[in-house]
Amino acid sequence: MKSTGIVRKVDELGRVVLPIELRRTLDIAEKDALEIYVDGATIILRKYEPACIFCDNAKDIVVYKGKNICNNCLAQLKQE
């Protein structure tokens, strides 16, 4: 993990501001969704990208009956 040297306080509503430089670097825009992960005592924020429920691929996603499926897995399901 790489330190940015940026320190922010949590406000009374539990919010943390991500600096504009960091958002630009990571291509995070207003209203973008972030995923929250926990690894021990570490909190990890990651830009949310819908992924296939079977292979975790985030390219060529199709929503089928409310589930994200990539074209490759969809083709395999059609063959079975």
pLDDT (tens digit per residue) in 10-65: 999 999 999 999 999 999 999 999 999 999 999 999 888 889 999 989 888 988 88
pLDDT of residue 65: 86
- Percent of the chain's residues with pLDDT above 90: 62
Tell which residue, 15, 17, 19, 14, has the closest CA to residue 4: 19
**Side-chain half-sphere exposure of 61, counting CA atoms within 13 A:** 16
Residue 80 pLDDT > 80 = no
User: Which residues make up the CATH 2.10.260.10 domain(s) of the chain?
Assistant: 1-48
The matching CATH number, chosen from 1.25.10.10, 3.40.640.10, 3.30.300.30, 2.10.260.10, for 1-48 is 2.10.260.10
